[in-house]
Amino acid sequence: MSRMKTVLVGLASALVLATGVVALSPPASAASLVEVTNFGNNPGGMRMHIYVPDNRPANPPIVVAMHGCGGSGPGFYSGSEFASLSNQYGFIVIYPSAMQEAGFGRCFDTWSDASKRRGGGSDPVSIESMVNYARTQHGGDINRVYATGSSSGGMMTQHMLAVYPDLFKAGASFMGVPFNCFANAAAYPPGGPCTNGTMNRTPQQWGDMVRAAHPGFTGTRPPIQLWHGTNDTLVPYSLLQESIEQWTNVHGLSQTPTSTDTPQANWNRRRFGTQVEAYAIQGAGHSLPSTGMARAAIQFFGLDRAAPTTPPGNPTTPPGNPTTPPGNPTTPPGNPTTPPGNPTTPPGGAGCSATVSLNQWTGGFVATVRVTAGSAGTNGWSVSMTLPGGASVTGVWNANRSGNSGTVQFSNVSYNGRLGSGQSTEFGFQGSGSGSGMTPSCTAS
């Protein structure tokens, strides 16, 4: 078994890695985890476990919490904080167990054609049946259903929000990938085109994939919270940006954050309106959720407070997102009056131009650089950028790099150098120190 396969199976089977330093026991309560064997239509052949807290309202919300590859519902129950939070706030938790082999353990099906459309079959239909069981047997509120998960479960979280936007009211994806990142089963293992660090679609392409999953849907799309460790190499950190592009496009939002902050040490959050939140966890590998992150997800869902007076599931403001986000001053910290990366005149070079968008926090930043070809197009490109004193590059995606500090050169990789007239591509890099004032210069070949 390859090193990558060993890591992935070990991570998800006991959630030793997928929960970081968290080592939790089942919550102290008379309630217990119960397996349900006949919950309805089950084309994915999945197992279902459910946790129903003793203290709950007449129509409790429903949270679907999904494990990583090689794991199980009971493993995620004992290795995460969702059940103890359900005791506190009175929501039902469904823990599905994936049963489809992906070559390195059982994973949720986010690759088959059947799984990629509403009612198409496979795991999504099985999960829908589990939700309906919780509604009919335990009085669960069908208007307050939420999805969350880690790794493969994080992938399925984004998947379910795309395929069943009429069922799920919000989601929190830990270390996931955008919907339809995997073309088929052969593309699923690590090293495939989704998870080998080369995935780079446009926001429009990503958004169109979501819209195609349920083309008749005209309602409000569910808000989403996205989490990723900056040192994750199993599911590359660069995929956080691809997910941001997908869901901001789905919600009709700009890719420029409306606010940034640091709710806890090393948790760097970007907000895009009230519908999309993205957390970059500094220094974390493939190890989420860790302590406190499940609570942040529950807060995003709006389950840490009494049910609203507006009919459940249809609040004026999406659940978990107050009109003025807490902890965000009028001017977000680290963001100058003029939004970074939007100079009045975009800098450019022979045959191409480049602009930079900056997400900064105390001691570090992530920069996204958009390269746009001139009228003649490009066969390749290079971007030169001078970093402020004391700043250095610590990671890069979708580009090659020469140098770490001072003047750094970035150049195209094999798949994004050729651009037609007016076409664009993006690359990104993470740095330590301050990135304020960087001005890119682009040269085409």
| Separation of alpha carbons 281 and 227, rounded Å | 7
| Separation of alpha carbons 146 and 124, rounded Å | 14
Q: Name residue 215's amino acid.
A: P
Least Cα distance to 62 among 161, 130, 162 occurs for: 130
What six digits make up the tokens of 210?
């979501």
What six digits make up the tokens of 225?
């919270």
Sorted by sequence, the CB contacts under 8 Å of residue 294 that are 6+ apart come out as: 80, 81, 82, 85, 148
Q: Name residue 232's amino acid.
A: D
Note whether 225 and 279 are within 8 A (CB).
yes
DSSP code of residue 17: T
What six digits make up the tokens of 340?
């970074």
Let me know if 254 is a catalytic residue.
Answer: no
| Separation of alpha carbons 145 and 137, rounded Å | 15
Instruction: Tell me, letter by letter, the H, E, C secondary structure of 369-436.
Output: EEEEECCCCECCEEEEEECCCCCEEEEEECCEEECCCCEEEEECCCCCCCECCCCEEEEEEEEECCCC
Helices assigned H by DSSP within 109-151: 122-138
| Separation of alpha carbons 265 and 280, rounded Å | 11
Active-site residue, selected from the candidate residues 72, 86, 126, 151: 151
| Separation of alpha carbons 47 and 102, rounded Å | 17
Residues 179, 180, 183: CA angle, nearest 5 degrees = 160
Give Dmax over CA atoms of the chain in angstroms.
70
Note whether 80 and 129 are within 8 A (CB).
no
Least Cα distance to 445 among 399, 415, 411 occurs for: 411
Least Cα distance to 325 among 290, 299, 356 occurs for: 299
| Separation of alpha carbons 245 and 424, rounded Å | 14
Active site residues: 151
